Structure formats: C-alpha cells, structure tokens
C-alpha cells in the first residue's frame, strides 16, 4: 500500500474560548494519509519523550490541547496531536459512528504513529480519547510507554446516557462550548455529528450492557495516571476509582473543583503533574 504524506502546512490560529489565549500559535499543521483516511496533525518540540494527544468527542488539536502543545517543555517532549478520523480537518471522509469507533480510532492511531516512524510514545487521552487510549495501551503494550487519562471511563451507566440525551440539542449548549465547533462544522454539521455520536454511545450501552473497554484494563502494562474533576457533569464519580482498582500500575489525582476540562481550566498544574509523571 502506498502512503502519501501531504505537507499541506498552514499557520493555525484557532482556540477554544473557555481558556485564556496569551498568543496565537505558530505551530504548523500537516496532513498524512493513513490508508483511505486523511489525518490532520501537528508535531511540536524536539524532546526525547514523545507524547501523543488524543482529543475528546468532536474535538480537535486546538480545541482540546492548545495549552499542552504550547505549555509542555519542548526540550523534554515531542508533542503530537491529531484531529481524530472524521473530526476537524481530518475530513473527508466524515466519521463513521459505528459501535466500534473507539477501537477503530485506536487502530488508526497506532498506524498513524507507525507512518510517522515513531515506535515508542506516551498517551494523553481526554474523554473519548481516553477510552481509545485505554484500548491502545492494552493492545500495543510494546509501543505505549505511559498512559494519562481524564474524563474517561471503561463503561457507561444509565444516568450518563440520560445526560447525553439532555445535551443532544446543541442549540442549548453554552456559547463558549458551541461557537468554536459551529465555526468548524457549521450549525447543522455539528448537530448531525452530535446526534450520530449520541446514537452510537446509546447503542453501545444497549448492546453491551454499557461496557466500553473494561476487559482491556487488566491488560495494561504501562504506568498509568488517572486524573478526574470531582464536579465533572459528564462522567460519573465511580469511574476513576474503578479504573484505579483495575489497572495494575496506576496512580490517581482528583481536582475537587474540577469539571470535565481540567487540563484546560487548570492547565499549569495539569502540565506540571503530567510532566513529573512522564519523566519519572
């Protein structure tokens, strides 16, 4: 199979409005073809430790990881972040929201890193990206050196399905949450995409009794750092404890006032803690 690397670089000046922006980014985006999928990504820094950032649902490089791309020490880390398949500028094609999309993302992510010639790396996985990160760490133990996850779970409970349904109408989202995604996907595109996401996770709940990747936890061999915001409205408080109890080499930290986006709201502390963990 011939894989074409497309060096379509441009200076990106996008930021999610829920965290302060001190300056515009000068990190250039690039594109690479992985099978039939175009992947949009950035690579920043020249450090010996490679860190691969996995965004959450509908998320992208800049909406989800700007403070990490710009804030982590580039002499210590090489930071890679992508728009997951079918999100952001990793289109076309649009995302296929089948019930295996977490596993599909994990496989595509591993193939993507192979295309970049990177054999060893650590993962920063937020929310949906954390779920795919769990799967990656379990399936590719020789590649994943360390795993950091937050806002993530290995199963879904009924109350969370109800929360997703309450959030289905994107016109009722806060403007801070909605505006950057509307700018990226359009109002109709955002609604269509989130409807499909809600349908997919509801189908997973109904078909698998809520299980997403619980069987993967015991297979994770790498050191794992589980973070959680105790006021996270999207993820039930039982999940970080379950992950901690079922991943062998795990540690955890909880932000008492944190919500779903602790890496954005508390980016300085988050970056410091993650740096200490990754360099240990």
**In whole angstroms, how far apart are CA 35 and each of 87, 90, 144, 274?**
16, 13, 22, 32
Please say whether the beta carbons of 62 and 90 come within 8 A.
no
Query: Which residues carry out catalysis?
Result: 127, 232, 260
CA 92 – CA 88 distance, rounded (Å): 10
In the numeric block, the tokens 């302060």 are attached to 20
Q: Is the dihedral of CA 176, 177, 183, 186 positive or negative?
A: negative
Please say whether the beta carbons of 201 and 161 come within 8 A.
yes
Q: DSSP for 58-121?
A: T--HHHHHHHHHHHS-TTTEEEEEEEPTTSTTS-SSPP---TTHHHHHHHHHHHHHHHTT---E
What DSSP element (H or E) covers 160?
A: helix 158-166
């Amino acid at each position: 199979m011939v894989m074409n690397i497309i060096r379509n670089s441009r200076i990106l000046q996008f930021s999610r409005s829920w965290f302060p922006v001190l300056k515009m980014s000068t990190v250039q985006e690039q594109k690479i073809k992985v099978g039939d999928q175009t992947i949009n990504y950035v690579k920043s820094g020249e450090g010996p430790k490679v860190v691969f950032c996995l965004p959450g649902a509908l998320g992208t490089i800049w909406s989800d990881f700007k403070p990490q791309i710009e804030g982590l020490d580039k002499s210590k880390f090489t930071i890679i972040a992508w728009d997951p398949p079918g999100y952001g500028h990793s289109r076309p094609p649009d995302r296929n929201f089948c019930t295996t999309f977490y596993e599909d993302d994990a496989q595509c992510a591993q193939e993507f890193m192979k295309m970049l010639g990177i054999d060893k790396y650590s993962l920063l996985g937020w929310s949906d990206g954390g779920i795919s990160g769990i799967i990656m760490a379990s399936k590719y133990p020789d590649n994943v050196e360390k795993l950091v996850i937050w806002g993530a779970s290995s199963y879904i409970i009924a109350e969370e399905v109800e929360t997703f349904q309450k959030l289905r109408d994107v016109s009722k989202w806060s403007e801070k949450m909605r505006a950057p995604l509307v700018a990226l996907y359009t109002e109709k595109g955002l609604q269509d995409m989130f409807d499909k996401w809600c349908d997919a996770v509801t189908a997973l709940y109904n078909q698998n009794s809520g299980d997403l990747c619980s069987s993967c936890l015991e297979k994770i061999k790498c050191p794992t750092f589980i973070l959680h915001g105790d006021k996270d409205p999207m993820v039930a408080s039982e999940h970080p404890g379950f992950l901690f109890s079922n991943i062998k080499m795990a540690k955890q930290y909880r932000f008492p006032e944190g919500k779903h986006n602790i890496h954005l709201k508390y980016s300085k502390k988050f970056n410091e803690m993650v740096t200490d963990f990754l360099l240990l």
